[in-house]
Structure 1
Amino acid sequence: MAAVSLGNGLRIFYRERGQGGQTVLLIHGNTASSLWWERVMEHLPGSVRVLAPDLRGCGDSDKPAPPWSIADLAEDIYQFTQALGVGRCFVVGHSLGGGVAMQLAVARPELVERLVLINSAPAEGLVTPPERYAQLEAAVQMPELLKAALGMMMPTAPQDEFYRAVLEESVTKSAGALIPNGRALDVMNLVEQVAGLRVPTLIIYGQKDGLVTLDMMERTRDQIPGAQLELWPDVGHSAPVEAPERLAKRLVEFFGI
């Protein structure tokens, strides 16, 4: 892990692998961290620079007081890329990170060469019912309950040492971001903006997902010009953990790296 300080004062930690003229940027989901991408990174070619930052409030990155917006998270990532000398890159977003990736593509189109969304927050946002927030507050205070909920988001993952490490880091280092990120998704709406995107876009949808629906992904596909939707029937919400080698291979194909 390394760290970089942004112009807004935040210190962002990140994982980095490989080197070369092309860069792949991996953006994780809610209550997650760059650790979720570790096995994907292992299967990407070493001739490509791969960067996976911890979003604010998550992993080892700084944890400022909420609230924050999806636009704030995207601006953090933009500043992160600039601090590391990235002029243009392939962007991959999982879950909440898909919302951040779309916002980044809208706000900084010069940065994004190709876009991949994995069981992403839809372009219209993802609203958590108000009564659910009490349950989420309780989960944040009860690590084993939160681990169980996160485990349901990766139903086909082998329950090995890596799986346990992902869950442990999520509840110990990223749980405080769960509700602020949820609030940010509540008010996100990029439907009009993504209609103007001119970036090749692939949406991967693991169909064993209990959170994001196929209907949401179909609408997002229809809202982004030229986007393609690929269904993975045997994967749940979290392909980076459930099917890392398969995902890495698909990224290599789509990015042409």
Structure 2
Amino acid sequence: MRGSDAALSQSHQHFPLTGGTHMATVTLPSGLRLFYRERGHGGQTVLLIHGNTASSLWWERVMAHLPGHVRTLAPDLRGCGDSDKPAPPWSIADLAEDVYQFTQAMGVQRCFVVGHSLGGGVAMQLAVAHPDLVERLVLINSAPAEGLVTPPERYAQLEAAVKAPELLKAALALMMPTAPRDEFYQAVLEESVQKSAGALIPNGRALDGMNLVEQVGGLRVPTLILYGRQDGLVTLDMMERTRNQIPGAQLEVWPEVGHSAPVEAPERLAKRLIEFFGIQL
């Protein structure tokens, strides 16, 4: 057994089951330790990639609405949730390579990939770098293919938000304007502030440096772009450009949803994923 294989076989640290979701950590060949949520099992796999200052928790209700005969995996990206928090900087390509190593550690050779916000940028990079892995691609209020540049003067505000939990919670709340204000909503905000705030600026810098316009023009993967119209960050123009840049991509606008469909409309989102992926119920 190779050293990396041995590390993988010994690196799963298991946590209790919560609501049918299995939680664990895995150490990648790079040495990075990623926390993940897993639900269901079967021949088909859905990979869920969260956004900036978020975690796999954001997908919990979507996962609960997907059928049990489909394996669903949602890792915490580096710097977020309960995954390792290495020193920045890092790039979107680095995040995508982490996710690719994660899929290989989990024995996934082909999967449906869903990316939200920053996770959409990671998903596009993953599809470009490892096209054989991605069977179908869904982008939800995604970072556009040309990247998402934060104005330099805005970083001072972001640094202040990282140091002020209530300010950061208020900013995150604007990203999910139609979400029910229930216990799950509060848990999402709390975890984001407590465990993922440190990734806000490094992820912003990564998005500043992202430009996949030329590369996505070579994609041959069926792609669906979902856009919640009540989004104050990602614009419809951005999503229309990305739709035009990915051959054959579809764009679907949800007028009554904001930036964060995984939290705002999880059941509707799960149903749309089942339909687009052709999953049999």
- The TM-score with structure 2 as length reference comes to 0.91
**Shift of residue 87, structure 1, vs aligned partner:** 0.5
Q: Residues 1-150 of structure 1: matches in 2 within 5 Å?
A: 1-150=23-172
**Shift of residue 27, structure 1, vs aligned partner:** 0.1
1:158 corresponds in structure 2 to: 180
Match of 2:269, SS state, is: helix
Instruction: Give the letter aligned to residue 3 of structure 1.
Output: T
Structure 1 residue runs without a partner (length 5+): none
2:230 corresponds in structure 1 to: 208
- How many pairs are equivalent? 257
Structure 2 Cα separation of the partners of residues 54 and 164 of structure 1: 19
Structure 1 Cα separation of the partners of residues 163 and 32 of structure 2: 25
* Deviations, residues 157-197 of structure 1 (Å, cap 9, x unaligned): 00000000000000000000000000000010000000000
**Shift of residue 76, structure 1, vs aligned partner:** 0.1
1:171 corresponds in structure 2 to: 193
Match of 1:233, SS state, is: strand
Match of 1:221, SS state, is: helix
**Shift of residue 205, structure 1, vs aligned partner:** 0.1
Q: CA RMSD in A?
A: 0.2
1:230 corresponds in structure 2 to: 252
2:204 corresponds in structure 1 to: 182
Match of 1:235, SS state, is: strand
Structure 2 Cα separation of the partners of residues 231 and 133 of structure 1: 30
**Shift of residue 246, structure 1, vs aligned partner:** 0.1
- The TM-score with structure 1 as length reference comes to 1.00
Structure 2 residue runs without a partner (length 5+): 1-22
**Shift of residue 202, structure 1, vs aligned partner:** 0.0
**Shift of residue 115, structure 1, vs aligned partner:** 0.0
**Shift of residue 126, structure 1, vs aligned partner:** 0.0
Structure 2 Cα separation of the partners of residues 7 and 177 of structure 1: 22
**Shift of residue 152, structure 1, vs aligned partner:** 0.2
Match of 2:230, SS state, is: coil
**Shift of residue 233, structure 1, vs aligned partner:** 0.1
Greater relative contact order (Cα < 8 A, sep 6+): 1
**Shift of residue 2, structure 1, vs aligned partner:** 0.3
Instruction: Give the letter aligned to residue 42 of structure 2.
Output: G
Instruction: Give the letter aligned to residue 36 of structure 1.
Output: W
**Shift of residue 148, structure 1, vs aligned partner:** 0.2
Q: Between Structure 1 and Structure 2, whose CA radius of gyration is higher?
A: 2
Instruction: Give the letter aligned to residue 110 of structure 1.
Output: D
Instruction: Give the letter aligned to residue 180 of structure 1.
Output: P
**Shift of residue 230, structure 1, vs aligned partner:** 0.1
1:198 corresponds in structure 2 to: 220
Structure 1 Cα separation of the partners of residues 263 and 45 of structure 2: 21
Match of 2:179, SS state, is: coil
Match of 2:25, SS state, is: strand
Match of 1:234, SS state, is: strand
Runs of 4+ with deviation above 4 angstroms: none
